[in-house]
Structure 1
Amino acid sequence: MHRTRWKLAHMITLIGVMLTFNPFLFSPASEAQAESFNVKPGAWEMTVTTITSGMKLSPELSAKMTPAQRAQMEQMIKSREGKPHTMTTQSCITKDDLSQDRIIKEMQDEDEDTAVQCKVKVLSKSSTKLVLDQLCPGPPSSTTHFTVETKTTDSFVAVGERSEGGSGKAHIDIKGKWLRTGCDGLEE
């Protein structure tokens, strides 16, 4: 598995359409002393379950697809409507990956294709829990409520609820389980 940063905001946006999972959105803090999640570095197993309802392809995304691609994506969205879709991957999380500032930054810079930045309001932040709301002006506009909580040093859970302007809702549950200290066989 290639190690690219999870864009949890993107996952919620394009659930079932463009799953671009990264192991977790943790990386070193750039400035002030930031909270870090209190979990062990090493190999982790991530189980992601998503449920969508009312999702539609945005006109912007549809315009970039051929008719055959559009039909295939629309069929995939329809087939997953209201049904849980679960995916499990293994990822390497280093000690430097445990700062919460990255998750906040990634959610602010959600749309890499435009200069529009999302607004993120941090509701609470500690070494065991991060709760935030995200508002993206779009297009399409969206709102997300997201919580990441470390239950122990070798497990975490994350829950996200996202509403897309005119394009449905998505719920995501992520469970992370620490496997081992070394990351042999996993790309960093």
Structure 2
Amino acid sequence: MKEPDEWSALSKLWQTGDDKQAPPLANLQARQRRQSRIMLANIIVESLMMIVLGFFAVGFLSENGDLYEQLWVGFVCGWASVLFFLINRSRWKSLRLIKTCAVSESLSEQIDLVRHEIFRWRLSAVATLIFLLVISLLFIASLVFGDQALSATGRMILAWIVLVLALVYFSWRKRAAMRMLENISA
């Protein structure tokens, strides 16, 4: 006769398990509205920056300049174009998700939005790391093969500090988005 009591105790234990509530959908909807405005502003500003960068690059590369400077400008243009394309493709996917009615009602679409955000922060961190490595290699090459002024060395150290701070910021934002994903997924 103990078996039914054990089964009922087990059943009660199972039913009184942790009740993890889903995060309030209203908070997620407010977050997505704010993010959509920020993403649209970023797309507009970055498009204008790419146009200015293109004019600058064409003008600079048409002049006869230092080889390191031309390599640098060519790399920056290629790097910025690839990064611009990849990040904005992810932003457009997120904006399309936000515009659907299902995203305001479905948690799985919210999870997809956060995954896109994590991808953008990870991509920004990797791109900044690549930028830091290339600028370091070009700086070392100009030190070894050329004449590097002391003021350029100071500017390079300042650039390294700024890039490392950007890496820290991107990593922090990615971790915050990953925590948000864990909260939503739980």
TM-score, normalising length from structure 1? 0.21
Bigger Rg over Cα: 2
Question: Which has a greater percent of helix?
Answer: 2
Larger relative CO (CA 8 A, sep 6+): 1 or 2? 1
Q: Which has the higher strand share?
A: 1
